C-alpha cells in the first residue's frame, strides 16, 4: 500500500487518530472532549469541547516560538508601485492594535465584522484582528455592487464595517465609499460604525457619527490579547452564489478550519515554515481566505499579497518577476491567469527573462483546467503543474495531487485523487453508486472532514435542503463527473445553473432576475458558454415584450449596464441577443442545457419533452450571430 493510500484509509477508518494528530501541532487553550462528534446536527462536528483562537495560532504562536523576525506577509502592488514586508512580530503588533480599534467600537466575541477591502495588507490585518477578538468576519469582494453588498449586510448584520477609500484596477480607480454608503442606505440593518482606510489614490468623505479614519483610530488604540472561543464557534461567513439569487452564507469554524489548513500546507503543497507561498487570488474569495491569509500563516510561511494582474501590470512577465524577486516556492492561481499569460506571450518569451529556480510547483484551481493550458504551463515552466478541485463550501482541496505525501501520475483533465477525509462517491439520480467511468452526481459521504461548512449562516434548513437532502448521509457537491479505474476523479460540469467565470462562481438565475427587471423584457435565459480565457462567459437571451420596438444595440447596452450595476463587473456580462422565443419543455422549463450544448458546438439530442423543435433553429441562428454554435 502506498503512503497516500495508507493515510487516506486511516483518515476514513480512524478519523480521531488522523485528525487528532494533526490538531496536536497547534496551540489549544483547552483540549477537545471529542475529535469528532458524529451525532451533532445538522452535521457532525470536529474538536467539540476544545477552546482555541485562530489569530493566536496564525501569528502570536510563531513570535512566541522565535520566528518573530521572519517575514510573515509581503505586499507587492505593481498598480501603485508599492512593496512592503511585515515580520511576524510586526504583523502581530498591527493586528493586536487594530483589534483594539474594533474593541473600541464595541466588537465582542460572536459579533460580525464585514470587510470590504482591496488587496492591501490592511484587509488581512482586519480579518486577523476580528478573529483575535473571537468575532466573525465576512469579507465581501471589492468588485461587488452596492445592492449585492446590501444583501450581505442584511444577512450577516455586522456591528462594524471595515473598508477603504478605493480599489485600483490597471486602468481605473474604483471608489469603494460611495458603493458602501449606497449599500448601507439600501440595507435594513445599519452597522454602528465604519472604519475607512484612506488610500492616496482617492478621497472618501467620512460621515460624522458613523465613519472613523483607520490611521487615527489605530494611533489612539491599545493592543488587545486573543480571546479564546469554542473550536466549533464560527471564524467567518463567506457568501457564495445561490441558485435562487439569494447568497448562501458559508460558515467556517475555528478549530477544524485551522487543523485542515495547517495539514494541507505540507501534505498537499509541500511547503513548510519559512517557505514563501503565493496564492494569486483575492481575499474576497475562498482561496484568499484559505491560502493568502490563514493556511500560510498557520504554517509559519511567508505569504504574498499581490495587487496586480497576470498581464498588463506591466506585462505578461508580471508573475515571473514576483516569483524571482520574492523567492516563491509554490504559486497557486486560477487557470484563467495562465490563459491570459499564454494569450499575450504564447512562446513564453517573458518567462525566459527570469530565474524561476526557487519555484517547486504550480497549483491551479477555481475551475476545471483544460489540458491545453496545463500542457503549456508545464512545458514553459518545467515544473509540476497540479490541477486540484475544491469549493467555497469545503475551504480546501477535495481532490489533488498530494506533493507532500507522494507525487502521483498526472492525468490532464483530472484533479487526481480524493484527499484524506473525503469519501467521494459517484451516484445516479436514484442514489445507486455508478461503476468506474460512468458519469453521475459527485457526493461526499458524511462526515465531511475538518474545515468544511457545518451549516449556512442562520439557516440550517437551507443547508440541509441544498446539500444533504437529495442523498441522506451524503453531501451533494453540485458537480457531475466520474471516477476512473485508478480512483482518479474527473469533474465535468455543474449540476445547477451556477457558472464559473474566471474562477468566480456566479448564478445565472441571479442575472436572469436582473435582466427580467428591465421594462422591455418579457422573459430571458442566461447560459454559460465556453470561453478560451475565462472558462465560461454568461450569455443572455432576451425575449421582448409585445409591441416593444427598440434599437437593439441601445437595449443591449442598457442590459449590460444593468447587470454591471446590480451584480458588479465581476459578472463579466457582455453577450446578449434578442430572440423571438425561448426553447421550453411542455411543462414550461427553459432548456438551458440544450442551448449550452448548441452554443459550445457539442453533440446534442432533441429533447423528448420539447414544446416546439423549430425554436432550436432560431436559437442556433442567434448564437451563430454572436460567434457561437459552430459545428
Q: For residue 518, what are the domain limits? A: 498-625
End residue of a domain, out of 420, 445, 470: 445
* 549 shares a domain with 423: no
Distance CA(12)–CA(436), nearest Å, equals 21
Which of 45-54, 416-425, 465-474, 548-557 is predicted least confidently? 548-557
Kindly give the residue spans of alpha helices, DSSP state H, lying in 327-482.
335-344, 371-381, 460-463
* 502 shares a domain with 438: no
The model's pTM:
0.86
* 280 shares a domain with 205: yes
Query: What does DSSP assign to residue 531?
Result: E
360 burial level (CB within 10 Å; 0-12, 13-18, 19+) = middle
More confident residue, 514 or 242: 514
Distance CA(370)–CA(345), nearest Å, equals 18
In the predicted model, is pLDDT for residue 319 greater than 90? yes
Mean pLDDT of 146-168: 95
Flag whether 20 is in a domain.
Answer: yes
Sign of CA dihedral 433, 435, 441, 446: positive
End residue of a domain, out of 429, 445, 461: 445
* pLDDT 10s digits, 12-27: 999 999 999 999 999 9
Report the SS3 class of residue 552.
Answer: helix
Mean pLDDT of 69-98: 98
Flag whether 481 is in a domain.
Answer: no
pLDDT for position 380: 95
Query: What does DSSP assign to residue 567?
Result: T
Q: How confident is the model at residue 171 (pLDDT cuts 50, 70, 90)?
A: confident
Three-state secondary structure string covering 459-515: CHHHHHHHHHCCCCCEEEEEEEEEECCCCCEEEEEECCCEEEECCEEEEHHHHHHHH
pLDDT for position 198: 98
* 505 shares a domain with 440: no
More confident residue, 582 or 97: 97
Mean pLDDT of 320-338: 94
Distance CA(289)–CA(127), nearest Å, equals 9
**Are 523 and 578 in contact, with CB atoms under 8 Å apart?**
no
In the predicted model, is pLDDT for residue 589 greater than 70? no
Distance CA(618)–CA(614), nearest Å, equals 7
* 613 shares a domain with 533: yes
* 151 shares a domain with 259: yes
Flag whether 254 is in a domain.
Answer: yes
* 510 shares a domain with 418: no
pLDDT for position 581: 87
**Are 300 and 273 in contact, with CB atoms under 8 Å apart?**
yes
pLDDT for position 39: 96
pLDDT for position 534: 84
DSSP 95-163: HHHHHHHHHHTT--TT-EEEEE--SSHHHHHHHHHHHHTT-EEEE--TT--HHHHHHHHHHH--SEEEE
Q: How confident is the model at residue 125 (pLDDT cuts 50, 70, 90)?
A: very high
Q: How confident is the model at residue 245 (pLDDT cuts 50, 70, 90)?
A: low
112-116 and 136-139 strand pairing = parallel
pLDDT for position 472: 97
pLDDT for position 339: 80
319 alpha-carbon distance from chain centroid: 20
In the predicted model, is pLDDT for residue 234 greater than 80? yes
CATH number, domain at 419? Answer: 3.40.50.12780
Q: How confident is the model at residue 306 (pLDDT cuts 50, 70, 90)?
A: very high
Distance CA(97)–CA(223), nearest Å, equals 4
Q: What residues pair up with 137 in beta bridges, in sequence order? A: 113, 236
In the predicted model, is pLDDT for residue 366 greater than 90? no
* 235 shares a domain with 110: yes
Mean pLDDT of 489-517: 77
End residue of a domain, out of 426, 445, 464: 445
In the predicted model, is pLDDT for residue 189 greater than 80? yes
Q: How confident is the model at residue 178 (pLDDT cuts 50, 70, 90)?
A: very high
Query: What does DSSP assign to residue 353?
Result: G
Closest CA to 176 of 119, 106, 101: 119
Cell numbers at residue 475, please?
453531501
**Number of domains the chain is built from:** 2
Flag whether 193 is in a domain.
Answer: yes
CATH number, domain at 596? Answer: 3.30.300.30
* 223 shares a domain with 75: yes
Cell numbers at residue 74, please?
509581503
Flag whether 343 is in a domain.
Answer: no
Flag whether 587 is in a domain.
Answer: yes
Flag whether 207 is in a domain.
Answer: yes
398 alpha-carbon distance from chain centroid: 14
pLDDT for position 157: 98
* pLDDT 10s digits, 33-74: 999 999 999 999 999 999 999 999 999 999 999 999 999 999
- The CA-based angle 501-504-506, given to 5 degrees, is 75
* 257 shares a domain with 139: yes
Q: What residues pair up with 424 in beta bridges, in sequence order? A: 444
**Are 318 and 310 in contact, with CB atoms under 8 Å apart?**
yes
Cell numbers at residue 108, please?
465582542
Flag whether 537 is in a domain.
Answer: yes
In the predicted model, is pLDDT for residue 438 greater than 90? no
* 437 shares a domain with 558: no
End-to-end CA distance of the chain: 47
In the predicted model, is pLDDT for residue 369 greater than 80? no
pLDDT for position 498: 67
Sign of CA dihedral 11, 423, 445, 454: positive
Mean pLDDT of 161-182: 94
Q: What is the pLDDT of the chain when averaged over all its residues?
A: 93
More confident residue, 589 or 578: 578
Mean pLDDT of 368-389: 89
Distance CA(465)–CA(470), nearest Å, equals 8
Distance CA(298)–CA(59), nearest Å, equals 7
Distance CA(254)–CA(269), nearest Å, equals 22
Mean pLDDT of 152-180: 95
**Cα atoms found within 13 Å of the Cα of residue 463, Cβ hemisphere only:** 17
* Type and span of the H or E element at 595: helix 592-600
Q: Of 163-177, 286-300, 493-507, which has the strongest mean pLDDT?
A: 286-300
* 12 shares a domain with 115: yes
pLDDT for position 505: 64
Q: How confident is the model at residue 585 (pLDDT cuts 50, 70, 90)?
A: low
Mean pLDDT of 309-328: 96
Sign of CA dihedral 550, 556, 561, 563: positive
Distance CA(427)–CA(276), nearest Å, equals 40
Amino acid at each position: 500500500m502506498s503512503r497516500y493510500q495508507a493515510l487516506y484509509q486511516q483518515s476514513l477508518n480512524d478519523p480521531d487518530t488522523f485528525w487528532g494528530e494533526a490538531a496536536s501541532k497547534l496551540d489549544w487553550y483547552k483540549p477537545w472532549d471529542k475529535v469528532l462528534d458524529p451525532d451533532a446536527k445538522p452535521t457532525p462536528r470536529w474538536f467539540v469541547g476544545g477552546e482555541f483562537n485562530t489569530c493566536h495560532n496564525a501569528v502570536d504562536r510563531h513570535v512566541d516560538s522565535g520566528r518573530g523576525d521572519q517575514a510573515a506577509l509581503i505586499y507587492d502592488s505593481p498598480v501603485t508601485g508599492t512593496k512592503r514586508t511585515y515580520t511576524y512580530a510586526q504583523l502581530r503588533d498591527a493586528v493586536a492594535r487594530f483589534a483594539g480599534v474594533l474593541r473600541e467600537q464595541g466588537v465582542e466575541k460572536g459579533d460580525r465584522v464585514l470587510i470590504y477591502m482591496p488587496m492591501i495588507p490592511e484587509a488581512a490585518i482586519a480579518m486577523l484582528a476580528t478573529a483575535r477578538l473571537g468575532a466573525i468576519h465576512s469579507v465581501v469582494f471589492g468588485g461587488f455592487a452596492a445592492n449585492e453588498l446590501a444583501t450581505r449586510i442584511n444577512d450577516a448584520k455586522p456591528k462594524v464595517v471595515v473598508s477603504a477609500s478605493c480599489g485600483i484596477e490597471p486602468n481605473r480607480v474604483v471608489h469603494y465609499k460611495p458603493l458602501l454608503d449606497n449599500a448601507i442606505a439600501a440595507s435594513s440593518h445599519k452597522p454602528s460604525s465604519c472604519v475607512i482606510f484612506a488610500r492616496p489614490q482617492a478621497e472618501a468623505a467620512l460621515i460624522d457619527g458613523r465613519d472613523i479614519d483607520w490611521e487615527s483610530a489605530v494611533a489612539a488604540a491599545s493592543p488587545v490579547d486573543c480571546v479564546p472561543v469554542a473550536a466549533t464557534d464560527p471564524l467567518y461567513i463567506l457568501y457564495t452564489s445561490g441558485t435562487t439569487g439569494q447568497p448562501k452564507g458559508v460558515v467556517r469554524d475555528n478549530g477544524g478550519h485551522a487543523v485542515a489548513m495547517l495539514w494541507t500546507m505540507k501534505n498537499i503543497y509541500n511547503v513548510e515554515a519559512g517557505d514563501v507561498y503565493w496564492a494569486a487570488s483575492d481575499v474576497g474569495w475562498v482561496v484568499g481566505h484559505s491560502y493568502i491569509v490563514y493556511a500560510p500563516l498557520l504554517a509559519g510561511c511567508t505569504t504574498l499579497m499581490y495587487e496586480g494582474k497576470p498581464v498588463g501590470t506591466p506585462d505578461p512577465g508580471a508573475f515571473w518577476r514576483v516569483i524571482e524577486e520574492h523567492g516563491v516556492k509554490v504559486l497557486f492561481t486560477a487557470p484563467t491567469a495562465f490563459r491570459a499569460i499564454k494569450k499575450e506571450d504564447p512562446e513564453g518569451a517573458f518567462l525566459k527573462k527570469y530565474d524561476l529556480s526557487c519555484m517547486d510547483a504550480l497549483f491551479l484551481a477555481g475551475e476545471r483546467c483544460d489540458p491545453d493550458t496545463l500542457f503549456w504551463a508545464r512545458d514553459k515552466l518545467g515544473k509540476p503543474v497540479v490541477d486540484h478541485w475544491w469549493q467555497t463550501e469545503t475551504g480546501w482541496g477535495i481532490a489533488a495531487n498530494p506533493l507532500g505525501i507522494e507525487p502521483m501520475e498526472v492525468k490532464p483533465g483530472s484533479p487526481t485523487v480524493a484527499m484524506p477525509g473525503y469519501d467521494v462517491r459517484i451516484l445516479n439520480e436514484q442514489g445507486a453508486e455508478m461503476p468506474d467511468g460512468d458519469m453521475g452526481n459527485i457526493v461526499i459521504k458524511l462526515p465531511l472532514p475538518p474545515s468544511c461548512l457545518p451549516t449556512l449562516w442562520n439557516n440550517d434548513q437551507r443547508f440541509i435542503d441544498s446539500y444533504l437532502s437529495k442523498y441522506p448521509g451524503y453531501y451533494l457537491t453540485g458537480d457531475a463527473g466520474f471516477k476512473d479505474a485508478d480512483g482518479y476523479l474527473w469533474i465535468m460540469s455543474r449540476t445547477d445553473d451556477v457558472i464559473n467565470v474566471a474562477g468566480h462562481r456566479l448564478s445565472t438565475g441571479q442575472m436572469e432576475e436582473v435582466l427580467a427587471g428591465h421594462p422591455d423584457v418579457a422573459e430571458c435565459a442566461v447560459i454559460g458558454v465556453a470561453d478560451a480565457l475565462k472558462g465560461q462567459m454568461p450569455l443572455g437571451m432576451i425575449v421582448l415584450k409585445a409591441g416593444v420596438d427598440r434599437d437593439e444595440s441601445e437595449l443591449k447596452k442598457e442590459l449590460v449596464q444593468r447587470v454591471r450595476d446590480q451584480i458588479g463587473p465581476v459578472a463579466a456580462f457582455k453577450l446578449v441577443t434578442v430572440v423571438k422565443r425561448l426553447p421550453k419543455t411542455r411543462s414550461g422549463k427553459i432548456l438551458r442545457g440544450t442551448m449550452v450544448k448548441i452554443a459550445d458546438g457539442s453533440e446534442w439530442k432533441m429533447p423528448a419533452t420539447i414544446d416546439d423543435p423549430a425554436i432550436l433553429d432560431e436559437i442556433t441562428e442567434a448564437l451563430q450571430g454572436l460567434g457561437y454554435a459552430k459545428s
